[in-house]
Copies of this chain bind each other. A is one copy, B any other.
Amino acid sequence: MSIDRSKIRWNGWGWTAHEDRLAGQDVVWTWLAGELGMPALLATPARALENIELAQSRLTVEDRARFIQILGADRVRDDPFERAYHARGKSYHDLLHLRAGDLSTAPDAVLFPRSTDEVLSIFAAASEGGTAVVPYGGGTSVVGGVTGQHGAFKSVVCVDLSNMDRMIDVDPQSMTAAAEAGITGPALEKALHANGFTLGHHPQSFEFSTLGGWIAHRGAGQGSNRYGRAEEWLIGATVATPRGVLRTGGFPASSTGPRLNDLVLGSEGIFGIITEATVRLRPLPTASDYRGYLFRDFASGLAAIRDAAREEIPVTMLRLSDAPETKFYRAFGALGRKRSLADRIAQIYLDARGFDDKACAMIAGFEGDAASVAGERRQFDALAKKNGALALGEGQGRRWKDGRFHGPYLRDPMMDRGVGVDTLETATSWTKLDTLYVAVRDALESAIRETAPRPGAHGVVTCHVSHSYPDGASLYFSYSFPRALDGEVAQWRAIKNAASDAIVANGGTISHHHGIGEDHLPWMAAEKGSLGIDVLRAVKMALDPKGLLNPGKLIPD
């Protein structure tokens, strides 16, 4: 069931065969240039792998022999494609490096273990040879979580879990399942559906990301309001560490001291490699209802989400776009399309009802059995109307659901035309949400203007709330900007710094569901405190005393 990597872009998002919906759509590029304050967009193609020089593997003959002894020659790979493929994750920052042909973080070899014992043997061999180990699930990190850093070691191997993707057990009575950590979203859900269950964890990376990766970065799927974050569905984990196997959790609840599951969740491969996990399931929903609403402004949309949380309406998803996001997608969707009479009538209706350019679109999702879905939808409908919303019907919801994993595919063609595209996310309490939203948006807009390649150029900064809680919610920012081709990494870093500083200064967490990796390291101490960082270092020392695992991630030096 493991994915055929030759069919996936090594320096971009997803399947190589995925249709580029923007190909030949000149109207899009002209429009986008205007949105960014640019006279035109430049062609900035990526370098092809065959034209990139890749440094020799730093593994010695003895190092290689040790790994081959454990895995056999065909599971120890150092061909250019595998090394390039595993050099980095999938952030905008990663793609800047990869597209420019910078493969300085390519691992010296990629290893494909098939068991927890093989992972332990890899650690022993790596320790002997002085080789760092970077764990790799689906490789979809957008925070530099899988960058092939060798740290203080002389070489680095990537341990790719894609051969550890078996279902171990489905227990229908307790509604739990155990699986190897390398299983991808689609393979896991297929096996669970066959038993009448779902995990319901659908991040945007769902097609490629893995069970182990979701746990390692403490992720949240699009339906986490209903199905829970990784910390809510994880029952127990098996973690191979350089000091042996750590088995955590395993009970529905327990008060036997600190919950060690929570040291595995968010560990990002620095304590060990998650090789197996047992998870809580939900019955496969028999009904699903996703639909659109239009609110007069962001505040009234937020009020509806807060009310839903307070009234305990068990929604699966409430995804509220801010006004710029609402306008952007509306304009994008209308490109090249003739305005019909119906469109014009709809516009007149909206104008008459007071929905102007402050209007904010929401997709609301409900899953479960038919009766509960209908009931929840009615409850939310009443609440949305109370907050002044217009119901837009199921079409919007269907379109969102059909495209729920497609967003990242737009980035590659945009990067081909000199446009930068990045995202970042945070969360805070309801009380601080509005201040945080304004601060981060302003920081992004300013930093983009300041780093733009020409005066007057600017970005498109959009935001949505996609995960909500009784006490607060997440904010997910997407931003496009004209690339400063003479210093793209510095530009990325300046924008990232400005937004991250604004997050920390305004009571947001530096990540709601992307994780830390390398990119968020500078803000870790502000969030965890120096004593908190000391605690993480102590745990690292207990499990990986030599520091072999994933150097340069999660814990600041």
Distance from A98 Cβ to chain B, minimum over Cβ atoms (Å): 24
Instruction: Find chain B residues with CB under 8 A from A532 CB.
Output: 246-248, 260
Q: Is the CB of B536 within 8 A of A257?
A: yes
Distance from A468 Cβ to chain B, minimum over Cβ atoms (Å): 8
Which of B255, B372, B430 sits near A174, CB closer than 8 Å?
Answer: B430
Q: Is the CB of A174 within 8 A of B471?
A: yes
Q: Is the CB of A427 within 8 A of B253?
A: yes
Q: Is the CB of B252 within 8 A of A472?
A: yes
**Can you name 24 A-B residue pairings with CB atoms under 8 Å?**
A175-B430, A217-B255, A218-B255, A220-B255, A231-B259, A235-B471, A245-B529, A246-B532, A247-B532, A252-B428, A252-B469, A253-B427, A253-B472, A253-B474, A254-B527, A255-B511, A255-B514, A256-B511, A256-B515, A257-B266, A257-B528, A538-B539, A538-B541, A538-B542
A193 at the interface (CB under 8 A from B): no
Q: Is the CB of A255 within 8 A of B515?
A: yes
Q: Is the CB of B243 within 8 A of A531?
A: yes
Q: How many copies does the complex hold?
A: 2
Q: Is the CB of B312 within 8 A of A512?
A: no
Q: How many angstroms between the C-alpha atoms of A302 and B257 in the bound complex?
A: 28
Q: Is the CB of B314 within 8 A of A256?
A: no
Smallest Cβ-Cβ distance to A143: which chain B residue: B255
Q: How many angstroms between the C-alpha atoms of A312 and B538 in the bound complex?
A: 40
Q: How many angstroms between the C-alpha atoms of A535 and B243 in the bound complex?
A: 11
Instruction: Find chain B residues with CB under 8 A from A473 CB.
Output: 252
Smallest Cβ-Cβ distance to A472: which chain B residue: B252
Within 8 A of B (CB), among A485-521: 508-516, 520
Binding site for B on A (CB under 8 A): 171, 173-176, 217-220, 229, 231, 235, 241, 243-248, 250-268, 280-283, 306, 310, 312, 314, 368, 372, 427-431, 467, 469-474, 508-516, 520, 524, 527-529, 531-532, 534-539, 541-543, 554-555
Q: How many angstroms between the C-alpha atoms of A430 and B511 in the bound complex?
A: 35
Which of B510, B516, B535 sits near A543, CB closer than 8 Å?
Answer: B535
Q: How many angstroms between the C-alpha atoms of A511 and B252 in the bound complex?
A: 11
Q: How many angstroms between the C-alpha atoms of A176 and B262 in the bound complex?
A: 23
Instruction: Find chain B residues with CB under 8 A from A174 CB.
Output: 429-431, 471-472
Residues A528 and B429 in contact in the complex (CB < 8 Å), given A175-B470, A175-B471 = no
Q: Is the CB of B529 within 8 A of A534?
A: no
Instruction: Find chain B residues with CB under 8 A from A474 CB.
Output: 253
Q: Is the CB of A255 within 8 A of B534?
A: no
Instruction: Find chain B residues with CB under 8 A from A250 CB.
Output: 509
Q: Is the CB of A265 within 8 A of B256?
A: no
Residues A265 and B259 in contact in the complex (CB < 8 Å), given A175-B310, A539-B538 = yes
Distance from A555 Cβ to chain B, minimum over Cβ atoms (Å): 8
